[in-house]
Amino acid sequence: MNERRIVITGMGVISPVGTGNEEFWSGVCAGKSGIGPITHIDPEPYAAKIAGEVKGFEPEKYFKNPKDSRRTDRYAQLAVAGAKMAYEDSGVSPEDYAPERFGVMVGSGIGGLATHQQQHEALMNKGVRRVSPFTIPMMISNIGSGIASMELGLTGPNMAIVTACATSNHNIGEAWRIMKFGDADAMVAGGAEASILAMGLAGFSNMKALSTRNDEPERASRPFDSGRDGFVMGEGAGVVVLEELESAKKRGARIYCELVGYGISADAYHLSSPLPEGEGASRCMDMALKHASLNPEDVQYVNAHGTSTPMGDICETKAIKRTFGSHAKDGLIVSSTKSMTGHLLGAAGGVELAACVLAIRDGIIPPTINLEDQDPECDLDYVPNVARETKVDVAVSNSFGFGGHNASVAVKRFTD
């Protein structure tokens, strides 16, 4: 069973930098920031008044019945849109697979926060009878995956793993594992998030996790820079279509690359802080490389978790050095696209895997913008401010979540 090869044939990206794979990719390669003043709510009461918002999103375009989008939380709207974009990008047709062999795993780190907030206000201000009967289905974190399966008519394995900021990578990795085990031939997998709301902003602000560089929003997310002061909230979706290689070849699919490795670990240390020496994150990358039968020196690019938090960036740097040894400072290239998108939480890994895939396709590594005074403890090559042209055959994407949840995925240039 483990000899089954899994390839990526479709991607759907919705991000603050752009909607659609090519708009997103051209934006991050140009070093474009998607961070600006918050418009979803009045940000005045909050310490952080900036975020990476998705602009011009029209959810009704992605539903068979546009009215159904009105009974769907924004996070699930983004999940459905990302899933449909990836499905269409893959070029797959309903007749290519039996529906029970095609699954969906699109998770969310937080879920329907907007619904929770709105319906709680209705309960407190207007009474029990004014709470919508759609409250629970709209709020739960698995409903985005469920609705995506309904919209696409896919009856294979369906679930939604919730692991905070590691959500996308866990959903993609476990979809890969399901396919390796032979329980599906194709999967739609990734994550979506929409929590730029009063509750989300207040919660993250009060734990002092967010940047308060409100007067310079485009410069606020600055991973590995000495002036970083926290992450910037973002929203969006990142979804891929995975197919078993022989099935993809049979239908003549365009193959972006091969998904070759997946690593998981737990820090078992702290609610929100990583292990100081990066041991958990390092074990996670080690596992991904082991599954892929890769040596550290085989990897050209790591898309870092790189959130722009004071401790997180240092700990990830240490983790990368633990896993890659001398190669970490002698050939390995690292960058954080969160410098442009902000932190998309449960959607981050899906969007960042797309950046790895497109780096392999085009031979371009997106930059870490706002890296002006590199932290001495962050002493790797982070591609400061300007994208770099170089061949990429293997890339690793890291995602680490609150609770000590770690997930890494490795992708490789496809060769038959």
Give the mean pLDDT of 188-215.
Answer: 96
Nearest in space to 396 (alpha carbons), one of 383, 412, 409:
409
**pLDDT for residue 2:** 74
50: pLDDT confidence band, cut at 50, 70 and 90? very high
- H helix or E strand, kind and range, residue 180: helix 167-181
Distance between CA atoms of residues 125 and 395, nearest Å? 51
Q: Which residues are catalytic?
A: 165, 305, 343
DSSP SS3 for 239:
strand
pLDDT confidence band for 3 (50 / 70 / 90): confident
* pLDDT mean over 187-209: 96
Write out pLDDT tens, residues 97-137.
999 999 999 999 999 999 999 999 999 999 999 999 999 99
Q: Identify the pLDDT of residue 392.
A: 98
Domains of the chain by start residue, with CATH = 7-250 (3.40.47.10), 262-412 (3.40.47.10)
Give residue for tokens 């995602």: 399
Amino acid 122: pLDDT: 96
| Whole-Å CA distances, 29 to 104, 183, 341, 349, 376 | 30, 37, 12, 18, 25
Q: For strands 186-193 and 236-244, give the pairing.
A: antiparallel
What mean pLDDT is predicted for residues 140-154? 98
**Percent of the chain predicted with pLDDT > 70:** 100
406 and 279 Cβ atoms separated by less than 8 Å: no
Cα torsion for 341, 345, 349, 355, to the nearest 10°?
0
Instruction: Please name which of 3, 8, 16 lies closest in space to residue 339, comparing C-alpha atoms.
Output: 16
Q: Calculate mean pLDDT across residues 243-259.
A: 98
On the question of pLDDT at 1 being above 60, the answer is no
Looking at residue 369, what DSSP letter applies? T
Q: What is the pLDDT of residue 59?
A: 97
pLDDT at 74: 98
Whether the pLDDT of residue 6 is over 70: the answer is yes
Q: What is the pLDDT of residues 345-394, one digit of tens each?
A: 999 999 999 999 999 999 999 999 999 999 999 999 999 999 999 999 99
Across the chain, mean pLDDT equals 97
- Percent residues over pLDDT 90 in the chain: 99
pLDDT at 192: 98
Helix (H, G, I), strand (E, B) or coil at 158: strand
Q: Using CA atoms, how far apart are residues 373 and 55, in angstroms rounded to an integer?
A: 31
